[in-house]
Structure 1
Amino acid sequence: MSFKIAIIGAGSVGFTKKLFTDILCVPEFKDIEFALTDISEHNLGMIKAILDRIVEANKLPTKVTATTDRRKALEGARYVISCVRVGGLEAYADDIRIPLKYGIDQCVGDTICAGGILYGQRNIPVILDFCKDIREVADTGAKFLNYANPMAMNTWAAIEYGKVDTVGLCHGVQHGAAQIAEVLGARSPGELDYVCSGINHQTWFIELRLNGRPIGKDELIAAFEAHPVYSKQEKLRIDVLKRFGVYSTESNGHLSEYLPWYRKRPDEITRWIDMSDWIHGETGGYLRYSTETRNWFETEYPQFLEAASKPIDPAKRSNEHASHILEALETNRVYRGHFNVKNNGVIANLPQDAIIESPGFVDRFGINMAAGITLPEACAATCMASINVQRMSVHAAIAGDIDLLKLAVLHDPLVGAVSTPEEVWQMVDEMVVAEAAWLPQYAHAVPAAKERLAKSKVKTREWAGAARRSVRSIEELRAEKAALKQAG
């Protein structure tokens, strides 16, 4: 087979390498072309050198090109994969820092909540540019695979306004299933069968079977509470399991941002999170992790390049959906996964226009969703609160409507539990001004926002959050890595 895959945001070096090696685990794909594109020539150079080394080491005919000219990369592409972070870590830092001044403590801040909503405002204009290029220069009927957050908002904009065949992809379901399989004592994750449905980062394991045997709520609770690690790291998820009756896909820290009950007071935050790793609830945890990862990669790049000389091992193919979807579409080997698509009746008790994450099957005919799912009422209610925020956020981003943007932030569950309307209005003004370089649709609103900020009497505070850790230096990371290696 010979076709072209374009990867936008290919400068996300580690993730691009994973996608690349996964795809080349499919024997029929050795003759394809990868076209890498990014706004950073430096990152493009690093990732191309790594992928070229992989191709050379495995004696493959695979072609790899790299360019900052996105349209050139997309020319003739059958598949387009996006893993961009618009605004980079600079804008992301404001997504965390500014809401903290108003008492809003986020662990990740990239899906909803104040940070996720502003992240969506930065992404959506760029997503629509991608879609325009795909319509104009990519292969007819090209499929757009979006890995970038905020997943639901980006996918919603691409489908509704970009008019491109789009699917959103995440790995939360796989991670949650692996946890469940482990606590139930499965010998491998494949022994667990499940139906998991909802919206991205609020997906629910509504049916579980281990080797064909149904698993009920009480057995699952007992299994998690008996686990020596997850009983400490996933306290909030276990509490939600007890109250809702089903387990959520999302990590302890991420889930805490979507629910208005666990992060609204500093003393409550520390009660429900775990500081053993960022993903369990640390304030600004993902920002710290991303900063450290970037610094580590820049310093340790020669080692990453050396590792690229090893043969590709198909047994180590990851469970990221992209390679499996492409394999099913091109070879007709059927793949079952969980995909972010427009609802259109798949989940009966969620809105038709919402972007859902639910089971589907892929073959030559495309992605075929399993319809007729009804979520438990509490799960649907929690999803609905986020869907309403997502819808307003998408519409605000499309129109450049700062008033609608403020209403979207006001209706966010955690923001509403912490902040007053006056605080929300000022916070949004402050975030739009701080991130103006990445918000072209709000350029007309920035001068008035600056004037309101100059006159505002709403009080803020400088607050690091309830559970903040400092970014570790390369030397500290290296020492910790060496200690872990020695210990085990």
Structure 2
Amino acid sequence: MKIAVIGGGSSYTPELIEGFILRSDQLKINEIVLVDIEAGKEKLEIVGALAKRMIEKSQLPIKITLTLDRIQAITNADFVLTQFRVGGLDARASDERIPLEYNVIGQETTGPGGFAKALRTIPVILDICKEIEEYSNDAWLINFTNPAGMVTEAVHKYTSVKAIGLCNVPINMKQMAATILDVERNDVNMSFAGLNHLVYAISVHVNGEDSMDRLLGRIIEGRNMNMKNIHDAPWEEEFLKALKVLPCPYHRYYYMKDEMLLEEMEAANEKGTRAEQVKVIEKELFKTYKNPSLNVKPKELEERGGSLYSEAAVSLITSIVTNDNRIHTVNVINNGAISQLPDDVAVEVTCVVNHEGAKPLQVGKLPPEINGLIQQVKAFEQLTIEAAVTGNKQKALLALVNSPFVPSSKVAKQILKDIIEANKDYLPQFS
């Protein structure tokens, strides 16, 4: 089996390599090809050298290949994993700072920040898919590149590639729920429904017993359920009791706009946006990676975020390869899973995964408590995808107007102008 990793110079790659090593009894991998662009060559070489040391320590017969030739990486691959960032962390910092100038939340994957990232990313992923169609047309695309839901939807709408979008939020929510409830993760069953970074746990069971109220109660008492990259604002007791389902950590940006915006603005002024903080973390990480005696995933990687990404990705691939029909929460095409959404849009839902891919479990009709927000954000996503593919500025404007973060069409127009100007090197479709 051949695995191609696009964005192989990412700081996340050692986590991925560790996952393949741990699953070596089920995944018989001959070669892992790490591919990046010229600008990422130094990072690719550093990460690649660490990956080779990790494989050597494991004594597995896996060849690690480093290349800047994407077609070489994709040719005859069984799985293509995408984890790249167009424009790097500098572009992300711009995505975070531009909205803040208009008192609007600036976040990497949601709202105007996620919109800008989608405009840069979707044309590139579609180019990659053309290469998959030509050089490895039976390969599975496992996409971790954000915004994962919009990227997955674009791939399905505009290509014939078999694609599944992956996010580490659901698996982390399950792990955190187990910790909060003082049980093992395997004892917890959670059903998820919604969109990427806007997903809800709509049921929680521990060994078959409904445990949603118990979990919400412990969170209200102060037990933490959050990701490292998100400000840990506590949920309002009355709100969680009224909602009756478990929001994901990213919901703070929608349900606590004032508090999250204030925190972002203070952080931007004092210690930098999240992207600017990550640049410092990554600089130290790559120094660590250079250590010739290092042959395991370093603990410092936990500070980068992306917790359990490897487990989510490798277990998903394992289910496809071994046909084990295990349950995963992934981004797939709706096909009626959520009845209020169109069939051809991407949703993040609980699925059964086997040789044929991910089949969504039926959710049915979402309750009105969560349906309205999901409908609005899905409209934003659909318009963003169309704008990214066509370069239509009217669609782009309307996408921002539909974002729950943007207060008016006037502000949307100003933000759009700034985003296009800041990203002109990456947005030829708008020129």
Normalising by the residue count of structure 2, what TM-score does the alignment of the two structures yield?
Answer: 0.88
2:21 is matched with which residue? 24
Unaligned runs of 5+ in 2: 298-306
CA distance in 2, matches of 1:436, 1:33: 37
Return the match for 1:214 from 197, 210, 215. Answer: 210
Secondary structure of the residue aligned to 2:336 is coil
Distance 1:377 1:441, change over 3 A: same
Matched residues, number = 413
Residue 108 of structure 2 is aligned to residue 114 of structure 1: no
Residue 176 of structure 2 is aligned to residue 179 of structure 1: yes
Cα contact 2:220–2:236 (8 A) shared by 1 = no
1:483 is matched with which residue? none
After alignment, is 45-54 or 225-234 more displaced?
A: 225-234
CA distance in 2, matches of 1:177, 1:93: 30
Superposition CA RMSD, Å: 2.7
Residue 186 of structure 2 is aligned to residue 198 of structure 1: no
Distance 1:209 1:224, change over 3 A: same
Cα contact 2:96–2:273 (8 A) shared by 1 = no
Alpha-carbon deviations, 1:238-266, whole Å to 9, x = none? Answer: 665233211112x2xx3232x2x522x4x
Secondary structure of the residue aligned to 1:414 is coil
Q: CA deviation at 1:409?
A: 0.7
Q: Which amino acid aligns with 1:241?
A: L
Cα contact 2:4–2:74 (8 A) shared by 1 = yes
Q: CA deviation at 1:41?
A: 1.1
1:103 is matched with which residue? 103
Distance 1:283 1:247, change over 3 A: farther
| Superposition misfits of 4+ residues, deviation over 6 angstroms | 316-319
Q: Which amino acid aligns with 1:357?
A: E
CA distance in 2, matches of 1:400, 1:115: 17
Cα contact 1:105–1:283 (8 A) shared by 2 = no
Unaligned runs of 5+ in 1: 311-315, 444-488
Residue 381 of structure 2 is aligned to residue 390 of structure 1: yes
Q: Which amino acid aligns with 2:242?
A: R
Q: CA deviation at 1:28?
A: 4.3
Larger Rg: 1
Alpha-carbon deviations, 1:402-453, whole Å to 9, x = none? Answer: 121011111100113xxx322321221121011101111112xxxxxxxxxx
Distance 1:228 1:244, change over 3 A: closer
Normalising by the residue count of structure 1, what TM-score does the alignment of the two structures yield?
Answer: 0.79
2:303 is matched with which residue? none
After alignment, is 431-440 or 224-233 more displaced?
A: 224-233
Distance 1:438 1:4, change over 3 A: same
Percent of aligned pairs with the same residue?
27
1:262 is matched with which residue? 256
Residue 232 of structure 2 is aligned to residue 236 of structure 1: no
Q: CA deviation at 1:372?
A: 4.5
Q: Which amino acid aligns with 1:221?
A: L
Q: Report 1:357-372 matches (<5 A).
A: 357-372=348-363
CA distance in 2, matches of 1:228, 1:207: 19
Q: Report 1:159-170 matches (<5 A).
A: 159-170=156-167
Q: Which amino acid aligns with 1:378?
A: E
Q: CA deviation at 1:354?
A: 1.9
Distance 1:90 1:233, change over 3 A: closer
